[in-house]
Amino acid sequence: MAIFFNGGDCTEDINVHLRDALEQIPSFSVCSADTILRGIKELAVETEIFINPSSGVSHEFNINGKLNSLLLKLACKTGLLKSGVAYDLDYDNTVISTEKYDSKKTYKHVHGYQPGVASIAHPEFSHAIPVYVEGRNGNSQAKYLQADTLTRMFGQLTNENIRIGRFRADSASYQEEVLRALETHTESFYIRANRCAKLDNILGSIAPEKWQKIRLGVQEMEVTDLSDYKPFSKDRSYRLVITRIRRKDEQADVFSGDAFTYRAILTNEHTSSNEAVVRFYNARGASERLFDVLNNDFGWSKLPCSFLAENTSFMLMTAMYANFYTYIIGEYSRKVDWLKPTDRLKKFIFRFITVSAKWIRTGRREVLKLFTSKDYKPILN
């Protein structure tokens, strides 16, 4: 954690750049990069292989239950999460491009991994809080066995008494078995619906007066909904909120027959307005920003090990570091006005870590003398 909090971005920085500075801290032992990597490997669990019976393709999943449990326990211990509160949870998969020994080709035509990450939106911070990470190799698409992944995730959350009120995900979750799992573990869900022949037939038959004009930021669109949409079976119906945006090129859609781009959100919630549903779903941007934070601030773009199991341990450890940082910046920003809870790690390093200082021994104790005009005393109190 000291590597990333001191401006490093890979494990070897401890040997090359940071050792001399960190060894000045009294009673602080600095280990080598090899020792850190050995510790990461000891925390790894064996990767499981699932074979798709229809295609015969093997999929590698790394399911580290103990580190995921620790990730949640630490989030609760720091007060980022509280038992019994109904949270909004996002689930998504991200492609990490890497040429590791066991990495496989992704749908983006690069080798890498495609871990599944669940995160909980926090009202104080610009990015979400990671609460579950499951390693997947690059050839395992987000929709493959997603219901099983979500069931394991909800089991971890239940063990810590973390309640999920609303769930958001992209079209990879648009599966009947996923919806059944969500009905069991959440109060409501919001899933991006796939275009299909059934939906295309409906779009062309919606009367013009059914559409309501709304504005989201600078984007104007029209919205309507279907209260009894049955995507998979005749016995289960859901609400489908549909938006359409006029195309700038005025090119007519071959299925709907008009010049609009259509999108739809499937939900089991029937009380909120159509505009409120669209606004809530579009707030998934916090989870997208989380991937930016994990990739660029906490080392996901430079995985240190050669195998999926070890790199999954690393991703879980750095997810804990990200949560520690969220806690620290939240606490410190309440005490000094030159730090904000939305500040990224780089700004925190410039304003808090890279400060001229000297360790002085006085009164039989070590005192850190700061050479700066900023007042750090409120943080120390």
Task: List, for residues 159-194, the tens digit of each pLDDT value.
Answer: 999 999 999 999 899 998 999 999 999 999 999 988
pLDDT, residue 90, reads: 93
Residue 213 in domain: yes
Residue 123 in domain: yes
Residue 257 in domain: yes
* CA distances, 200 to each of 117, 119, 195, 249, 266 (Å): 32, 33, 7, 21, 15
* 21 has pLDDT over 90: no
Q: What is the number of residues in the chain?
A: 381
Please provide the distance, in angstroms rounded to a whole number, between the alpha carbons at the two ends of the chain. 24
* 201 has pLDDT over 90: no
pLDDT, residue 254, reads: 62
Q: Per the structure block, which two tokens stand in for 252? A: 């007519």
pLDDT, residue 37, reads: 93
Q: How far apart are CA 58 and CA 144, in angstroms?
A: 11
Angle between helices 308-333 and 33-42 (to 10 degrees): 110
Which pLDDT band, with edges at 50, 70 and 90, does 25 fall under? confident
- The answer to whether 166 and 84 have CB atoms below 8 angstroms apart is no
Which pLDDT band, with edges at 50, 70 and 90, does 199 fall under? confident
Average pLDDT on 24-52 reads: 91
Which pLDDT band, with edges at 50, 70 and 90, does 284 fall under? confident
Residue 233 in domain: yes
Task: List, for residues 360-379, the tens digit of each pLDDT value.
Answer: 888 888 888 888 888 888 88
Task: List, for residues 124-161, the tens digit of each pLDDT value.
Answer: 777 789 999 999 998 998 999 999 999 999 999 999 99
- Find the range with the poorest average confidence among 24-28, 45-49, 263-267: 24-28
* 287 has pLDDT over 80: no
Identify which has the larger pLDDT, 241 or 250: 241
The percentage of residues in the chain with a pLDDT greater than 70, rounded to a whole number, is 98
Residue 378 in domain: no
Total domains in the fold of the chain: 1
Q: How far apart are CA 136 and CA 63, in angstroms?
A: 9
Residue 21 in domain: no
Residue 88 in domain: yes
CATH number at residue 81: 3.90.350.10
* 232 has pLDDT over 90: no
- What range does the domain containing 80 cover? 47-332
- Find the range with the poorest average confidence among 51-60, 133-142, 252-261: 252-261
pLDDT, residue 249, reads: 74
3-class DSSP state of 142: coil
Average pLDDT on 206-231 reads: 86
* 111 has pLDDT over 90: yes
Which pLDDT band, with edges at 50, 70 and 90, does 255 fall under? low
pLDDT, residue 179, reads: 92
